[in-house]
Amino acid sequence: MNSPQPTAAGKSSYDLIDTDRFWEVLAVAPGMTVLDLACGSGRYTLPLRDKVRPDGRVIAVDLWAEGIEQVRAAAQNSPHDIPIETHVADAAETLPVASGSIDLCLMATVLHDLAEDDSDAKALAEVARVLKPAGILSIVEFIKQDGPPGPPKAVRLSLQEVSIRLLPLGLIRFGAVVELGPHTYFAQFRALRRSAGPR
């Protein structure tokens, strides 16, 4: 028997957003190690690679094996480029990513799915674990309004609902909250630097 598909497998927000505005505000830079968490078929993953060239790294994780296959196939089309590390993994389990290794984690239209599955707390704790001190979590979420496109309003997360999940993990909002067109918004959170402890 086939295992059930993860929530929203096969869907992407990339065609719904103002991509110019997104790439303008995303705090990505050359040399960064970036995690695309719940990457789907990689619509954000491949352009992320362009942004971290020439010596950055991109890690793409999704529970949807078919999506990860598509990312792998697309990444192989450019063999001379920096590799994209791919994992079929559950965001709500221990991520196959080293602690304190990620400069920027992107979660594009997945946090509400995790919240609906009651697995958001575990997933966000994992994000906090893998981020470097002062690392960044960037989110794209659906504006809390009636769709379509997107999930029912009751499932969507407002900025406040996102922020209260992140504050206890030491992830503090910075920068502007930006509407990426009529359907989605974008916000970024920075991990508080951990204290160096007594000397």
Site residues, ligand SAM (CB under 6 A)? 6-9, 11-14, 38-40, 43-44, 62-64, 67, 90-92, 108-110, 113, 119
Q: Is 139 exposed, middle or buried (0-12, 13-18, 19+ CB in 10 A)?
A: buried
Helix (H, G, I), strand (E, B) or coil at 32: coil
**Residue type for 182, please?**
P
State in angstroms the smallest separation of the CB of 48 from ligand SAM: 11
What ranges in the chain are assigned the alpha helix state H?
Answer: 19-25, 45-52, 65-76, 111-116, 120-130, 159-166
Q: Which CB sits closer to ligand SAM, 64 or 186?
A: 64
Q: Which CB sits closer to ligand SAM, 133 or 149?
A: 149
Which residue in the shown chain puts its C-beta closest to ligand SAM? 40
State in angstroms the smallest separation of the CB of 68 from ligand SAM: 9
Per DSSP, 195 falls in state P
State in angstroms the smallest separation of the CB of 8 from ligand SAM: 4
Q: Which CB sits closer to ligand SAM, 154 or 196?
A: 154
Helix (H, G, I), strand (E, B) or coil at 54: coil
Q: Which CB sits closer to ligand SAM, 62 or 103?
A: 62
Examine residue 149 and say whether the peptide bond preceding it is cis (omega within 30 degrees of 0): yes
Q: Alpha-carbon distance 112 to 117, whole Å?
A: 9
- Give the Cα-Cα-Cα angle 6, 10, 14 (nearest 5 degrees): 120
Q: Which CB sits closer to ligand SAM, 14 or 23?
A: 14
Instruction: Tell me the sheet residues that pair with 137.
Output: 105, 189
State in angstroms the smallest separation of the CB of 142 from ligand SAM: 9
